[in-house]
Amino acid sequence: MIVTLTPNPSLDRALEVDRLRVGEVNRAHGGHLHPGGKGINVSRVLVRHGVPTLAVLPTGGADGARLIEMLAEIDVPTLAVPLVDHTRSNLTLVEGTGVTTKINAPGPRLTPDEVDALLAALETQLATRPAALVCAGSLPLGAPETFFVQVAGLAARYSVPFVLDTSGVPLTRAVRQGGLTLVKPNDEELAELVGRELTTVGDVVDAAREVIAACTRAVLVSLGAHGALLVLADGVWWAGGPPLVPLSTVGAGDSTLAGFLVADGSPADRLRTAVAFGRAAVLLPGTAVPGPTDIDLDAVRVVENPDPRLALKEL
């Protein structure tokens, strides 16, 4: 069982347009509605690959109720914590070239009691000793910047491996506190975390090792179209594949993380699977997630100890 926590879930509405014309009337020729939120996306992928999971999330209002209904329709088990405020809706505009423009609403404001209720609900699941806890996405209004530090403390109390995919100050606070099993930033989030520009493989590896030095076991860095880097204390691996023409990049990083969790074997094998999942996701519309038949492991190349002098755009 892998438990996911999505503190600020959403209903994701995606509209397809030939080309986005800012300031003009744009007519969509297609659309999709999916359950949204990074942790939820991870659970959706896990379900499609037969891995037991439970999605913990706060919900409120009509959109919150619809979100739970949609997750039930695709067999994603949930533990919902009720809110007075309403679950948000996000909008993604997908152009024919694959370029995506995402507009994320701020989401509900949680009261201190609702934050406590969310943590308490999570603790009931951690007490069952799941295989891992994945916390992913932004924090809702009202949640303290130390929220993921509190979650890390709960995971440590029950000896549950803790995987974190977030950004900004909440990521910085959690990394400084330590005790994380895996952190999955993209290169921009990692650059913000260490406070400097990252332009080469060596830059990314050095930054990831700073995170590891603060008591995180592994760092999985998404590089977008340029693949991903996995950094451990004793090794570095890069994986990527031939260029793709994406339908949508929304949720690709979440699929990458799910692929890493699904995989067995060596670090190289797990990274290959992670990148294959991410590549499969960008070939699907909206925030659809890949199933087993979408995964092409053979298209992914893995390099141990890639040249640190290489620019990221050269990968």
Whole-number Å distance between alpha carbons of 199 and 194: 13
Task: Sort 32 into a burial class: Cβ within 10 Å, 0-12 / 13-18 / 19+.
Answer: middle
Among residues 134, 141, 87, which one has the least CA distance to residue 115?
141
DSSP letter (8 states) at residue 50: T
Q: Considering 254, 294, 298, 307, which one is annotated as catalytic?
A: 254
Whole-number Å distance between alpha carbons of 257 and 41: 10
Q: What is the CA angle 223-227-228, rounded to 5?
A: 65
- Taking residue 188's Cβ as centre, other Cβ atoms within 10 Å add up to 13
Q: To which H or E segment does residue 89 belong?
A: strand 88-95
Whether 254 is a known active-site residue: answer: yes
The structure tokens listed for 200 are: 């080469």
Whole-number Å distance between alpha carbons of 12 and 1: 26
Q: At what angle do helices 267-282 and 252-262 cross, to 10 degrees?
A: 150
DSSP letter (8 states) at residue 109: B
Residues that are catalytic = 254
